Amino acid sequence: MEHIKLYAAISRAVQARKTCLDTHDLQGMEKHTETLVRLEKLLPHGAKIDLAESRLEKLVFNTAFRVTEHSVVVTPSLAFDFHLRVSGQNPGNVKALLATAFREGLQKLVENPLDSGKDVL
Q: Which secondary structure element, helix H or strand E, spans residue 95, and what is its range?
A: helix 94-106
Residues 72 and 86: their CA atoms lie apart, in Å, by 5
Distances 17 to 28, 53, 71 between C-alpha atoms, Å = 7, 13, 21
| pLDDT beneath 70: ranges in the chain | 116-121
Residues 49 and 91: their CA atoms lie apart, in Å, by 23
Residues 13 and 77: their CA atoms lie apart, in Å, by 19
pLDDT value of position 121: 39
pLDDT value of position 120: 39
Percent of the chain with pLDDT over 70: 95
Residues contacting residue 93 through CB under 8 Å, at least 6 positions apart: none
